[in-house]
Amino acid sequence: MTPSTSGNGTSESRLPVVILISGRGSNMQAIAQRAASGELPIEIRAVISDRPEAAGLALAASLGLPTAALSPKGFADRPAYDTALAALVKSHAPRLVVLAGFMRILTPNFIGPFAGRILNIHPSLLPKYRGLHTHRRALEAGDTIHGVSVHFVTEELDGGPVIIQTTVPVLASDTEATLSARVQRQEHSIYPQAIDWFARGRLELKGEQPWLDGQALRTPVVIAS
């Protein structure tokens, strides 16, 4: 799994990656910029969206990245769509699939072919607030600490093993929008870090247990913002 990092930065020394998005693609952009600078040893083979109108596709194209869209319309059900999506992703031969604001619940038809090689970022301190509206729920609960998590994707929604988290203080003046913006700034740092670990062979999933630098990761790496 370990790519060479001692070469001249050619694609042969970088881990092939496909990124899936549904919206603006801000995390995709943060990842792509680090890859372009040579800081992140990956080759982004494609940026794929389930929404042909997603703004992130135009952003990816402006960054010189190959793009594709596969709408769920016209597919009989979610498993049928996921089978087609898996085939599209496979055509780019990635060794890692990165979900960056991909707003679909994936079935085993997609997860199975890429088991242990799918990462996701979720705007909460998992296992708290799985699903949607995480910032609103944190504010309504009166939380003083919120944050973001990167985890391996399994068949359980937002339930895969957590790798790394960043905590963010919740301010008395916070709205959903201000808290979201503060969390998103941390997303742009924490996600490239997890991808870097995987690309350099430092991070892997063994069964249901993530391993980092040859040690079982019993609890996530936590970074305070």
Q: Give the 3-state secondary structure percentages of the chain, helix then strand then coil, rounded to 5.
A: 35, 25, 40
Contact 126, 146 (CB under 8 A): no
Note if 122 is an active site residue. yes
Q: Residue 8 burial (CB < 10 Å; 0-12/13-18/19+)?
A: exposed
Q: Quick count: other Cβ atoms within 10 Å of Cβ 200? A: 17
CA 198 to CA 73: how far, in whole Å? 33
Catalytic residue among 92, 122, 135, 146: 122
CA 50 to CA 30: how far, in whole Å? 20
Distance of CA 197 to the CA centre of its chain: 13
Of 173, 149, 153, residue with least CA distance to 163? 149
H runs (alpha helix) in the chain: 26-37, 55-62, 78-90, 108-111, 134-140, 176-199
The residues, ordered by sequence, that sit 6+ positions from 203 with a Cβ below 8 Å of its Cβ are: 163, 194, 197, 210, 211, 212
CA 129 to CA 122: how far, in whole Å? 9
Active-site annotation, residues:
122
